[in-house]
Amino acid sequence: MMVALVGCAATPTSAEPAPATPDGSEREEVVGTLKAELTRSMERLRLPDYEGPYFLSYQLKDDESVTVAGKFGALTADARSRQRYAYVESRVGSYEFDNFANVDAESYRLANFRAERVVPLDDDQALRGALWLLTDETYKKSLSDYLTKRGGAVYEAEEAVEVPSFSREEPTSYRGPDLPLQADPATWRAQVRRITAGMREHTFLLDATMEVSGQRVVRYLVNSEGSEVVDEFRIYTIQAQAYTRADDGMLLENSRLFYARDIDQLPSWEHVEGAIGEMIAELRALRDAEVIDPYTGPAILGPEATGVLFHEAVGHRLEGERQRDEQEGRTFHGRVDQAVLPGFLSVYDDPNLDAYAGVQLNGHYLYDDEGVRAQRAQLIEEGVLRGFLMSRTPIEGVAHSNGHGRAQGVNVPRARMANLVVVASEAAQVSESELREMLLAEVRRQGKPYGLLIKDITGGSTNTLGYGYQAFKGVPRMIYRVDAETGEQQLVRGVELVGTPLSSINKIVAASSETGIFNGYCGAESGYVPVSTVAPSILTTEIELQRTQQSRERAPILGPPWQESP
């Protein structure tokens, strides 16, 4: 699932450093602590008559955040926090066959006591103690899983191609730059109060919130192969959200969100205030918009909507682990070097992209959560499938990671998207006005009374599993009905985009020369990770919209208290 955020041009914002977190010397102390406990465990950790781990990895994340939030002129949150949490990966067996990969469906014995994943902030023996308990617990479960997996092989048919459990990768060593979290909470408080107070003027709003936050995560990773990675991820967010209810009882939502990895790339407060004004104006227009009937026919998807379509319908289905899991639908399994998209479209994912068209990308990183250097993954080239997003879990035909093993917090890393880029060949690109003319021509050819223009989308979700329908869903926000004869457009509401992946993506017939950026977070098995898409507008000959499931409730009986005179 992907949730949205769109970048914009920025002007500097004042800032001051937050309280200090580990500097260079403290970082090396943490690395030393992790290495000391890892070495001790690799040398001595084993049960009598059983083997010890052949691979251990420690990952510690030092997470600091500052958040200021409010509504209607008052603060609802004003917090600064810092905590550390640790992930320990223990593998028993060998690279060819170990306790990992396709064992989640089995039932394993779990201890009554679970070691704490939140670990001490101080770099002393208490930190080693936390790692000691986590390592002990993880090793015991890994050994049990390994033995159960070996026993389960008695009942399983042999695979046509034996695929290793874990890829062999060269050790890496990296120390990233120090990125102190900069924040000006006093200014944030004043602006949140001021801007949200202005929302009281719009008495049709049920609720309206604004939040300004900054997060910095210092990550330490060491493993028994000799890798050492210390780097930082920092992100600032400004988000506003508002709700209203139409006269027919339909609940309507709109939002504006801005991300930046450097604080001076955030928009000015004047820009934010203007964007919130647009957000409220759109909500007012949506209240009066007509509820559209379910629709199948031609449509233009704006860049953000295109990005979500490819993220949900294509990207998730190209994640490596899904190709070897029997419970998955495996849409693209065994289709390398076969056409899967129209020939004028290509798709790649590159975590190394820092920015695109001057907008910083959420999905940027240099090393993944398995310590592997990030690489550009060419997924589809001129419509032909070329590869997959890979973690250190090999799949048939692909033995190595391309640096896409990602996870939130203490989740197990899996292959995930980072910066997904959709490219149309230059010869196939048209201007936005030409795309509009092509839409009208296609609508008339099909004998439809209208086509659709889906300008933006709040996010989406997909089912990739083998049971149920292989489908995806997007939640459009601003949808316009374009009259077949006059070309006039009218705002409509009450529908969501649905479809099956192969059918939907192969009905794309044109793309614009202009591209847009969609920044956000994506949630999947390994948690929520920051992602981006870069995509053009597209014309599809057929898109399906179904009626949104909505509770139709009565609006509040009284108006808001500030509407009345004191």
DSSP secondary structure, 190-223, as one string = HHHHHHHHHGGG-TTEEEEEEEEEEEEEEEEEEE
pLDDT at 304 over 70: yes
Grade residue 469 by pLDDT with cuts at 50, 70 and 90: low
Helix (H) or strand (E) run with residue 39 in it: helix 24-44
Nearest of 68, 56, 55 to residue 212 by alpha carbon = 68
Lowest-confidence pick of 263-267, 437-441, 556-560: 556-560
| CA atoms of 144 and 164, how far apart (whole Å) | 19
pLDDT at 138 over 50: yes
Grade residue 460 by pLDDT with cuts at 50, 70 and 90: low
pLDDT of 100 reads 86
| CA atoms of 428 and 440, how far apart (whole Å) | 18
pLDDT of 5 reads 37
Contact (Cβ atoms closer than 8 angstroms) between residue 531 and residue 362? yes
Q: State the DSSP code for 267.
A: P
pLDDT at 459 over 60: yes
pLDDT of 186 reads 97
Residue 211 sits at φ, ψ, to 5 deg, of -140, 135
Q: Does 497 or 211 have the greater pLDDT score?
A: 211
Contact (Cβ atoms closer than 8 angstroms) between residue 418 and residue 403? no
Q: Does 208 or 558 have the greater pLDDT score?
A: 208
pTM over the 0.85 mark: yes
Percent of the chain with pLDDT over 70: 90
| CA atoms of 311 and 309, how far apart (whole Å) | 6
| pLDDT tens digits for range 516-548 | 999 999 999 999 999 999 999 999 999 888 887
Contact (Cβ atoms closer than 8 angstroms) between residue 528 and residue 521? yes
- Which residue in this structure is represented by tokens 């089995």? 106
When the pLDDT of each residue in the chain is averaged and rounded to a whole number, the result is 89
The Cα diameter of the chain in Å comes to 81
Lowest-confidence pick of 6-15, 66-75, 345-354, 373-382: 6-15
pLDDT at 421 over 80: yes
Tokens of 322: 């899904």
Helix (H) or strand (E) run with residue 62 in it: strand 55-71
**Mean of the pLDDT values across residues 401-425?**
96
pLDDT at 208 over 80: yes
Tokens of 226: 């000799």
| pLDDT tens digits for range 220-230 | 999 999 999 99
**Side-chain half-sphere of 520: how many Cα atoms within 13 Å?**
24
Cβ count within 10 A of residue 71: 22
pLDDT at 480 over 60: yes
Contact (Cβ atoms closer than 8 angstroms) between residue 164 and residue 101? no
**Mean of the pLDDT values across residues 215-219?**
97
Please state the separation of Cα 136 from the chain's center in Å.
32
**Mean of the pLDDT values across residues 260-267?**
96
Task: Name 231's bridge partners.
Answer: 219
SS (H, E, C) 170-188: CCCEEECCCCCCEECHHHH
**Mean of the pLDDT values across residues 228-252?**
95
| Superfamily the domain 2-288 falls into | PmbA/TldD superfamily (3.30.2290.10)
**Mean of the pLDDT values across residues 395-422?**
96
pLDDT at 477 over 90: no
pLDDT of 276 reads 97
For the chain, domain boundaries: 2-288, 291-547
Lowest-confidence pick of 13-27, 93-107, 175-189, 469-483: 13-27
Grade residue 324 by pLDDT with cuts at 50, 70 and 90: confident
Grade residue 468 by pLDDT with cuts at 50, 70 and 90: low
Cβ count within 10 A of residue 84: 22
| CA atoms of 363 and 536, how far apart (whole Å) | 18
pLDDT at 36 over 50: yes
pLDDT at 564 over 90: no
- Which residue in this structure is represented by tokens 């398995």? 370
pLDDT at 154 over 80: no
Could you give the dihedral angle defined by the CA atoms of residues 547, 520, 530 and 22, in that order, rounded to the nearest 10 degrees? -140
pLDDT of 386 reads 97
pLDDT of 95 reads 96
pLDDT of 563 reads 80
pLDDT of 461 reads 67
Could you give the dihedral angle defined by the CA atoms of residues 185, 186, 190 and 192, in that order, rounded to the nearest 10 degrees? 10
Please state the separation of Cα 423 from the chain's center in Å.
20
Lowest-confidence pick of 121-130, 178-187, 228-237, 269-278: 121-130
Which ranges in 341-453 belong to alpha helices (H)?
432-446
pLDDT of 462 reads 66
| pLDDT tens digits for range 326-338 | 777 778 888 899 9
Contact (Cβ atoms closer than 8 angstroms) between residue 41 and residue 53? yes
Residue 150 CA: distances (Å) to CA of 25, 144, 351, 477: 45, 10, 36, 50
| pLDDT tens digits for range 45-92 | 999 999 999 999 999 999 999 999 999 999 999 999 999 999 999 999
**Side-chain half-sphere of 313: how many Cα atoms within 13 Å?**
24
pLDDT of 103 reads 44
Tokens of 518: 């969609």
Helix (H, G, I), strand (E, B) or coil at 434: helix
